[in-house]
Amino acid sequence: MTFTLIFLAALTLSLLLRYWLALRHIRHIQAHRACVPPDFVERIDLESHHKAADYSIAKTRLGNLHVAVETVLLLAFTVGGGIEALNNLWQNLLGAGLWQGTALILSVFAISTLIEIPLGLYRAFGIDARFGFNKMTVALFFADLAKQVLLGAALGIPLILGVLWLMERMGELWWLYVWCAWMGFNLLVLAVYPTFIAPLFNKFTPLEDSALKGRIEQLLEKCGFHAQGFYVMDGSRRSTHGNAYFSGFGKSRRIVFFDTLLERLGHDEIIAVLAHELGHFKHRHIVKRIVLMAAMSLAGLWLLGWLMGTTWFYTGLGVSTPGTATGLLLFLLAMPAFTFLLQPLMSFYSRRNEFEADRYAAHNARAEDLVRALVKLYNDNAATLTPDPLHSAFYDSHPPAAIRIAQLMKPRQ
């Protein structure tokens, strides 16, 4: 009973904090909607500024609805007895064992996915369509969903079976073996993602612009970076949003540009954006993030190993009989309520990496080109120029536009 109260208190605190931050964000955007910020007056017109404000508010309100649905579902699964009922159902059908535990975990994920489908539909065909971003058809939406489910089953079922087997067979140090398996799985997915997973959802064609390819090769040689190839992704099939990214590692690394990005940016701006992405590589941000996630997952698994040796952990979250699969599920579902207050630390770390990548881009391309590219991307993606500072500190992985551009325009030593 004590742990139930602690869990409910943590969940209530995180829920109230989320809604308070969302309310601050909406009010701050509305208060600055009337005019374009002074630093952007010559770059962003008032109509685009209004669109960005309204789009950000609409997404925030949808986020509030999503939080409410998640909270109700979490309470139903835990103190409401949902996991207990599903566990008993699968035990009656399959008996106790690895397949019963796997079925329990998959059924919880399936229920969550089904409940989130209407929110995804509203995001794509309600909000994004209203603001002119959605290019996806209903058929494509459900085709993507079917592929995600099949891919999740193909990868997830063996992973769940393996994890549950290790948890039951490796004694008190099972959490260390599971951690090794989890890290190996993640590295494998990173390796195969560019060539096997990503093409299931998008078409990738080699970059044909010879002039741009020549400039990219010069930049890569200057920065000491090797890529397997340069590709254009048909992002315009689903959205007008633009982006560029690296995928894979080692010999499988490739540079990917959204076709929408290439349509909007000039060569100088594309090179500046790419230099920013290379900054992440040169500062080893991806490797550092993997190491950080590895440390956090190791700590989490150790904590789970300790919690599974207690009875109050199970009974406090609505499960009467301790078990491997139920313990893993309860931990995954309940932990976000306790860790939400750590969110600003992760956001701060990510924003610091973005500043480092920006400085690298300013030294290896032109800061002015990156600024122009960023303004176009902010404009095209209808990203608000006036986020609430506290909301941004909690959620934003990238610095606010005004701060980021001000840093880029500082004289370099």
Report domain extents, the chain: 202-264
pLDDT score at 143 = 94
CA distance 191 to 196: 9
**Which pair of tokens denotes residue 44?**
């962003």
SS3 377: helix
DSSP string of 91-121?
HHHH-SSHHHHHHHHHHHHHHHHHHHHHHHH
The stretches in the chain having pLDDT less than 50 are none
Which tokens go with 70? 């998640």
CA distance 259 to 243: 9
Q: What is the C-alpha separation between 74 and 345, in angstroms, rounded? A: 25
User: Which residues, other chains included, contact 341 with Cβ-Cβ below 8 Å and sequence gap of 6+?
Assistant: 14, 17
- Alpha-carbon distance of 232 to 129, in angstroms, equals 24
Region class of 410: left (phi > 0), else alpha (psi between -120 and 50), else beta:
beta
Phi, psi (rounded to 5 degrees) for 357 = -65, -35
The two structure tokens encoding residue 244: 């560029």
Q: Which of 126, 55, 2 is nearest to 385 (CA)?
A: 55
Q: How far apart are CA 274 and CA 33, in angstroms?
A: 32
CATH 3.30.2010.10 for domain 202-264, yes or no, is yes
- Between CA 330 and CA 135 the distance in angstroms is 38
- Residue 342 burial (10 A CB sphere; 0-12, 13-18, 19+): exposed
Does pTM top 0.75 for this prediction?
Answer: yes
Query: According to the model, what pLDDT value does residue 167 have?
Result: 95
The pLDDT score that the predictor gives to residue 196 is 87
pLDDT value for 183 = 94
Tokens (6 digits) for 46: 């008032």
For tokens 């325009």, the residue is 409
pLDDT at 307: 94
Residue pLDDT, tens place only, 359-391: 999 999 999 999 999 898 888 888 899 999 999
How far from the centroid of its chain's Cα atoms is residue 58's Cα? 19
